[in-house]
Amino acid sequence: MRAFTTHHGLVGPMDRANVDTDMIIPKQFLKSIKRSGFGPNLFDELRYLDSGEPGQDCSGRPINPNFALNEKRYNGASILLARSNFGCGSSREHAPWALDGYGFRVVIAPSFADIFYNNCFKNGLLPVVLTEQQVSGLFDELYREQGYQLTVDLTEQTVLMAGGRSYGFEIDEFRKQCLLQGLDEIGLTLKQAPAIKRYEEQRAERHPWVFGAIK
Amino acid sequence: MNKNTLYDKLWDAHIVSERDDGSTLIYIDRHIIHEVTSPQAFEGLRIAGRKPWRLDTNLATPDHNISTDRIERDAGVAGIPDPTSRIQVQTLDDNCEHFGIKEFKMNEMGQGIVHVMGPELGATMPGMTVVCGDSHTATHGALGCLAHGIGTSEVEHVLASQCLVAKKMKNMRVTVDGSLGTGVTPKDVVLAIIGKIGTAGGNGHAIEFSGEVFREMTVEGRMTVCNMAIEAGARVGMIAVDDTTIDYVKGRQFVPSGELWAPAVAYWKTLVSDADAVFDIEVVLHADDIAPQVTWGTSPEMVAEVTARVPELSAQKTPEQRTGLENALAYMGLEGGQAITSIAVDRVFIGSCTNSRIEDMRAAAAIARGRRAAPSVKQVLVVPGSQMVKAQAEAEGLDKVFIDAGMEWREPGCSMCLAMNADKLGSGEHCASTSNRNFEGRQGNGGRTHLMSPAMAAAAAVAGHIVDVREFLSEVVE
């Protein structure tokens, strides 16, 4: 997995609560058997005025001028500023794949849906939880200042603003280390193969019906 | 001692190892696989040169993007009209074949929506950890399981190692005591709960549904409730094991029989929260207060009693709430203050992992019997959740009831719940739907979803607009 240590970039807004994964990447794009190529269809129904289909060239599609991320000032944004319960709904990992494909490396919100939050870490995308008040403050600054940028430092667990101000954020130590080092989580787990086998042996003695039923 | 919740017990029984920061390697007993969230996981295994850790834990079936049309289904995988869907279903077949995973193929008996199929085959048993690359995996918690959705990277992780790295969630208990009134179903109970705690109310928690209402509920009803734990923000919903659970499980295909049955039952009966168990959050509702529910907006928490009115902008307290309501009303094409029963429906969908089991089919058929769908309704889709549900419904003559009522009886699959196949709403169309999500565009670009119970959806089909099913229940149809 791609490592994440620190990131400095332009901020873009997604200014509504409860953004669901259907909104992040609509279902018709889930038919792909690949992990990549979802970026042009991120927020498809909000971003374009027509109805998008998989495999379509998006460069000639009519753009929704009222969708904030389409504004020129947010071109090249790599930090998404969002509201509460971001990523609710389905477990589709296509959501972080689409955000990543668009060029986002960080999503900042007051809260995330559990499965989405978890999925981000598997893809080198950093979800940062700040308070409602801090996020509202960042939205104010973002709307006020053209070219608004932030630095997100995972090692120090801080979001740095202009003028040296910063907000700290919490993150699990294991997830942090995996992201900092770009570790292959499956490889790590498989290092514990003896412990897994031991567990299975004990379990098979206690609950033998769990094993062997499906052939 | 003896202060453990059901969730605590299930968690503890599956710990392989723990790290200092609390992240834990958890053992997974059952992994269910479908065509949409698995291809990249199998690809990952191939690239890394890995094999599945165990084969006898995995069970696969296609459900999300297959056709529900009889003629298209009879043509097999090659007959799937959309080439990208066809490739995805074929890829599932190929991957299962290559890795030796048990699959119930598209037209085989046993196939169905993953969360209908698992329990009905007895692949889901009490006390198991159950995962699937689908957020409605919470459904299986109805059997006293620890069950939740996972992303594709975790599908690969489980395939490769039979484990997940997880952190323990907090405990939430939702208690509903009393008896449900006539016409009030498990779907209404769970929608009322979501209305109370909101779509983020359960974030970070495992919810245990507790109280008389759930004790008296059938296992199928419990599945409807646990299914929508995710719409309350919780990855996990669960209900303690009791005799109803054990009676349900008994005799199913993958469930132990003979000398393993008695020790299994003895263990399963321990899967209840201890009397003094402590929950981080307690929520209490009373059955008497729950009426048939309908969603009017674009989030499952935008829900009201069928007899109520759509909320008014003037009643909103904060600017955020006002904006949220404005957006929802604009999308739904509704006015604040409008009676819910004044909403005309263009299409009706009876199906999905929430409400496509035999009891749901019977409840809808009881309303449809001897009646006709209103001429103004363009389409009523009745989609059984599995081949077994379909066969049972046909044995009971329910297919004929629906067809005689001017409704379409389809082949099993996810269908219009997420509209990955051809079953979808047109822009601006209102749908009375027994599914689980009313997000913008969920059932088709621009489509307007109203979530409700199967009986309520069938009643809306007959009336041509949203209607209180209790009005139908007082009429006797010969």
Domain shared by A77 and A143, yes or no: yes
Is residue B435 pLDDT above 90, yes or no?
yes
Of all residues in chain B, the one with the smallest CA distance to A204 is B29
CA distance B121 to B106: 16
Whether A143 maps to a domain, the answer reads yes
**Following DSSP, what letter does each residue of B379-447 receive, concatenated?**
EEEE--SBHHHHHHHHHTTHHHHHHHTT-EE--SS-GGGTT-SS--PPTT-EEEE-SS---TTTTSTT-
How many domains are there within chain A?
2
Residue A160 lies in a domain: no
Strand partners, B379: B347
Considering only CB atoms, A172 lies closest to which of B23, B43, B264, namely: B23
Residue A21: inside a domain, yes or no?
A: yes
Q: Do B203 and A51 touch (CB under 8 A)?
A: no
Average pLDDT over residues B138-147: 98
The answer to whether the CB atoms of B320 and A17 lie below 8 A apart is yes
B250 touches B277 (CB < 8 A): no
Range of the domain at A195: 184-215
B contact test, residue of A15, A20, A31, A49 with most B CBs within 10 A = A31
Is A2 within the bounds of a domain? no
On whether any CB of chain A is under 8 Å from the CB of B95, the answer is: no
In one letter, which amino acid is B257?
Answer: S
User: Residues A130, A47: one domain?
Assistant: yes
In chain A, what residues touch B327 (CB-CB under 8 Å)? Answer: 16
Of A134, A150, A166, at which residue does a domain stop? A150
Last residue of a domain, one of A103, A124, A150: A150
Indicate whether A188 and A140 sit together in one domain.
Answer: no
- Cβ contacts below 8 Å, chain A against chain B, sum to 199
Q: Check whether residue A144 and residue A197 sit in a common domain.
A: no
Q: Which residues from chain A sit within 8 angstroms of residue B133, using beta carbons?
A: 91, 93
A179 located within any domain: no
d(C-alpha A29, C-alpha B84), whole Å: 9
Cα B16 versus chain centre, distance: 29
Mean pLDDT of chain B: 96
What's the CA angle centered on A50, arms A47 and A54, to 5 degrees? 85
Contact B21 A172 (CB under 8 A): yes
Check residue B475 and give its pLDDT: 59
The verdict on residue A163 lying in a domain is no
Report pLDDT for A64. Answer: 97
Q: Do A186 and B128 touch (CB under 8 A)?
A: no
* Contact B269/A at CB under 8 A: no
Best mutation site among B80, B84, B435 for testing chain A: the one with the most A CBs within 10 Å? B84
8 A C-beta contact, residue B358 and residue B386: no
Reported pTM: 0.97
Of B58, B82, B160, the CB nearest to A186: B160
On whether both A121 and A190 belong to a single domain, the answer is no
Amino acid B318: pLDDT:
87
Are the beta carbons of B161 and A186 separated by less than 8 Å?
A: yes
pLDDT in tens, B51-69: 999 999 999 999 999 999 9
Interval B227-235 mean pLDDT: 97
Nearest Cα residue to A23 out of B298, B201, B154: B298
Q: Check if B49 contacts A (Cβ < 8 Å).
A: no
Residue A55 and residue A121 in one domain: yes
Instruction: Name chain B contacts of A27, Cβ cutoff 8 Å.
Output: 418-420, 442
Interchain proximity A174–B39, CB inside 8 Å: no
Could you tell me if residue A157 is inside a domain? Answer: no
**Residues A18, B299: C-beta atoms closer than 8 Å:** yes
**In this structure, are A115 and A203 located in the same domain?**
no
Answer yes or no: do A97 and A199 share one domain: no
Q: Which residue of B has its CA nearest to A51?
A: B445
Say whether both A32 and A110 belong to one domain: yes
Q: Per the CB < 8 Å rule, is B439 touching A175?
A: no
A24 located within any domain:
yes
CATH value at residue A58: 3.20.19.10
Res B2 pLDDT > 90 = no
Same-domain pairing of A211 and A113:
no
**A97 and A189 co-located in one domain:** no
Distance separating alpha carbons of residues B106 and B112, to the nearest angstrom: 8
Question: pLDDT over 70 for what percent of chain B?
Answer: 99
Kindly give the parts of chain A with pLDDT less than 50.
none
Residue B478, pLDDT > 50, answer no
Looking at the fold, whether A115 and A193 belong to one and the same domain comes out as no
Residue in chain B closest to A86 (alpha carbons) equals: B200
